[in-house]
Structure 1
Amino acid sequence: MPTELQERQFELSGLLFGDLTPVQCDDVDLGDVARRTGDADSPGADGQQFGLDYHDGRVISLDLWTDTTTAADARSAWGALRTVWSADQVRGVSRAVTTLRMRMPGTDTVRVYGRPRRMTPASQRMRDAGIVDLVADFQTADRGFYADVEQERTLTLLPNLSGGLMVPFTPPATLNAISNSDSTMATNTGDTPTWPVITFRGPITNPSVEWVATGSRLTLQTTLGASQTAVIDTRPWARTALRNDGASLAGQLRGPRLSEFTLPTGSTQIAFRGQDPTGTSSCVVHWRDCFSTP
């Protein structure tokens, strides 16, 4: 479990800044969520016709200053932040993101995913006294603020008399109902739908996961061996379906688009299905509660 930040603190790639650190933060501008619209003028008439709207990420701007007493200390504190802000571990990898954690007054720690962008000295007139003013931008991949603690639920196909798989059985096999069990309920306590990461572990054929109330279901039309796993990552910066050997299974996906398979707010009953005569396969659903504000 990640270490909880103090109020008005931030963390990027292991470097802590904000209150009680050598780099203080005066203010945070969360920015507006960029929106792509399909609006068009009504041909030959007054008014507009609205098309599809899409939300992009936001630019979070931080007003920072080095809280040190000498020019050398200011340079050291600024340099340490500049090093992590360059994001060398992700900038050369397509789709890769890094994590900015933050804690606003009166709330728990949340995180956003994206990449650092601008870091500009705003003023160096007090550098001799150890103070350098900086403005730093972080571009997020999407509009959400995510809980610092990740949740997970594990589902299995159990060959027992209470339900699940019976041997011999007639496919498709289904997960036995575990009434009112936490193991079959996923709860997103945020105010915004969130993006699950789903891991299937073999041996299983045609594994699927379903939100029971809506019937929304993702299925992989493939067979996984006993030593194989497949991960479906619906998060905006990923949107992949990969086997553990790196092979893409995107062509075997059936169901809604990954951009549509969100975990709603509140509690959702989840089901795992597939064909597995051994009863040893499993499905693990990971998610972070998602919020519209930090």
Structure 2
Amino acid sequence: MSGQWALRFPGEDPVEFSDDSGVFLRDDPELQQYDITDQDVNTDGVDGTQFGVDTHGGATYAIDFGIVGSSPDDARDREGELKRLWRGDSIRSTPDAVAELISPRGRSSFGRPRRIATSGRRYFEYPPAADVGAEWRAADALWYGEQQSADVGLVPEVTGGLMAPLEEPLTIGAGPSTESTTFTVDTDAATWLSIRVRGAILNPIVSILGPGFRLVFAFAIDLAYDDEILLTTVPWDRGAVRKNSGGVVPLGSGSSRFDSAALPSGTYELVLTGTSPAGTPRAFVGWRDAHPVP
């Protein structure tokens, strides 16, 4: 990024907020509300609280924009453009669609623009200016760094010919193979992963293993050489689909839950298992280091 705050909608270039653009943030977004649901229980007739499971939900940030124009009309137009942008017309009618608020350090919050209102106008002073307050509703309270990835390929085993004496029945064919690689995640908070499997491969299984950590995603599928499985685990976009058809790919028996697929900081092993007599199938794991501040 350019070292400026920016807002990016899916498939569009980011819009930067800077002194040069005439629309800028007066300070970092301020966390206003952070949703936490708990299962705490107070037992009748007994002192104290029994804690249950806490789940963290969305977060609301307050943003103070400053607007400066070269003329009163220019300031008005820049205020109008900010309010048009903040409508989020390209995503607000699409369930699960999110925009990306990007900090000067390149860390992103995923969510949607919400409220916006002008708190003061000084169009006929010099320079013509205005103050606008807005809200950003984030899917969670974390800020995510640049996309990172690791990958591993599956090389089919090559075996020799037949040896006498032969006994019936004869079975000829390749069995499942396994390959692995290691990768390191350096994150402040556990971060969601994505997985991509490229064919050709039969019944691929992707495992991610670490100290006290095990994730497995199995797919009962014959994946063609020009097709891929795309699996995402972020709360705002969870599921597995085929690239060519867009159809949903069900998880096979023994697969992990999506909501367990958050990687703490550490070193992991990425393992791909499957059958591939020919071709070069490959598995990719992707993640963004997560941080509590932008």
Shorter-chain TM-score bucket reads: 0.7 to 0.9
- Give me the whole-angstrom Cα distance separating, in 1, the residues matched to 2:265 and 2:202: 30
Give the partner amino acid of 2:123.
Answer: R
| Matched residue, 1:282 | 282
| Matched residue, 1:11 | 6
Contact in 1 for aligned 2:177/2:274 (Cα 8 Å): yes
Contact in 1 for aligned 2:72/2:124 (Cα 8 Å): yes
Contact in 2 for aligned 1:5/1:102 (Cα 8 Å): no
| Matched residue, 1:128 | 124
Give the partner amino acid of 2:144.
Answer: Y
Shift of 1:267: 2.7
Give the partner amino acid of 1:75.
Answer: R
Give the partner amino acid of 1:16.
Answer: E
Higher alpha-carbon Rg: 2
Contact in 2 for aligned 1:217/1:256 (Cα 8 Å): yes
Contact in 1 for aligned 2:187/2:264 (Cα 8 Å): no
1:1-294 aligned at under 5 Å gives the runs 4-6=1-3, 9-13=4-8, 14-27=14-27, 28-103=29-104, 108-124=105-121, 126-129=122-125, 130-147=128-145, 149-159=146-156, 165-167=157-159, 171-175=175-179, 177=180, 184-213=181-210, 214-244=213-243, 245-252=245-252, 254-294=254-294
Distance change >3 Å, CA 76–CA 187, structure 1 → 2? farther
Distance change >3 Å, CA 64–CA 41, structure 1 → 2? same
Matched residues, number: 271
Question: Alpha-carbon deviations, 1:168-190, whole Å to 9, x = none?
Answer: 77533111x5xxxxxx2332222
Q: Would you identify which runs of 4 or more consecutive aligned residues in structure 1 move more than 6 Å?
A: none
Shift of 1:283: 0.9
Question: Alpha-carbon deviations, 1:200-225, whole Å to 9, x = none?
Answer: 11221221222232332221222212
In terms of mean alpha carbon deviation, does 217-226 or 88-97 score higher? Answer: 217-226
| Matched residue, 2:169 | none
- Give me the whole-angstrom Cα distance separating, in 1, the residues matched to 2:31 and 2:132: 16
Contact in 2 for aligned 1:115/1:139 (Cα 8 Å): yes
Give percent identity, aligned residues only.
28
In terms of mean alpha carbon deviation, does 71-80 or 206-215 score higher? Answer: 206-215
Give the partner amino acid of 1:135.
Answer: G
- Give me the whole-angstrom Cα distance separating, in 2, the residues matched to 1:291 and 1:10: 17
The SS at the match of 1:120 is strand
TM-score by length of 1: 0.85
Question: Alpha-carbon deviations, 1:232-289, whole Å to 9, x = none?
Answer: 1011111111112121123546422111112221332211111212242111222211
Question: Alpha-carbon deviations, 1:55-100, whole Å to 9, x = none?
Answer: 0121121111212242211111112212221111111111011111
In terms of mean alpha carbon deviation, does 29-38 or 245-254 score higher? Answer: 245-254
The root-mean-square deviation of aligned C-alpha atoms, in Å, is: 2.0
- Give me the whole-angstrom Cα distance separating, in 2, the residues matched to 1:229 and 1:194: 23
Distance change >3 Å, CA 47–CA 82, structure 1 → 2? same
The SS at the match of 2:192 is coil
Contact in 1 for aligned 2:174/2:277 (Cα 8 Å): no
Contact in 2 for aligned 1:15/1:81 (Cα 8 Å): no
Distance change >3 Å, CA 38–CA 73, structure 1 → 2? same
Gaps in structure 2 of 5+ consecutive residues: 9-13, 160-171
The SS at the match of 1:215 is strand
